[in-house]
Structure 1
Amino acid sequence: SMTPRNLAAWKISIPYVDFFEDPSSERKEKKERIPVFCIDVERNDRRAVGHEPEHWSVYRRYLEFYVLESKLTEFHGAFPDAQLPSKRIIGPKNYEFLKSKREEFQEYLQKLLQHPELSNSQLLADFLSPNGGETQFLDKILPDVNL
């Protein structure tokens, strides 16, 4: 039987930034390497039904966080204590930039997980799952997110 998901019992950290080779740039001789946040996830909410904690890592691009934020805002309203840095920041969103923002992005996710109204959010669970709609956070890149 499916036990309700409780995201408050998920632990996340963003230990480092890595590179992802963009598969859509196959035709180019040199694949584009996109910096991504590595999110470590530890799922602890199914102990009651005999599941050991599960661990996995998921890689998300800078932009995907903003798609998540705007979808969550659309469905739940804003979370004043859980906000990403302004996306109006000028300059390349390169490896060094992501490294400098790693802790802020980590804190953003950690705070979201503590919100009771998100404890069973499919959207947030998908964002933190390796097979959780790889595309849904890239396909619907919003017009107001211009990076």
Structure 2
Amino acid sequence: MEAMAEGLGIAPVDALSAMVTALQGLGCSATGFGEHTDPQLISVLRSNGTSGLQIALQNGQWVSVPSDRDAFFVNVGDSLQVLTNGRFKSVKHRVVANSLKSRVSMIYFGGPAMTQRIAPLPQLLGAGEQSLYKDFTWGEYKKAAYNSRLGDNRLAQFHR
């Protein structure tokens, strides 16, 4: 998170990482999981080297992510997309079933406090640049997400 902030020219460099108040871990053996974006700031995934993870390109085409048991896959979440005013994009992804071998993954989600306001960082708004999103709290986002389907664009209601 600090490397991202540094790359964007955000000072202090812990402006993004300081918002991570909760790290939640999830281990799962997936036979498949529908398309979605991650809501948090960031997600870090590691798997057992079994294929199945796919990401959606802007044109809607699905592309398989090469499986590497020695690598981490890092997803930008919806909240980080808003904080960067769209400079970093939340990636729609899914897991498709592999009939030969179970995919086992461990995922860590870095999320903010329920009361954390989510809005583009002022340092990233250039002269005359408007926020692409309405301000909201993490709690408001989660409530909206619970009232939607997994594959829905959960940021749509917060777009200006």
**Shorter-chain TM-score above 0.5:** no
Higher helix share: 1
TM (normalized to structure 2)?
0.27
Bigger strand fraction: 2
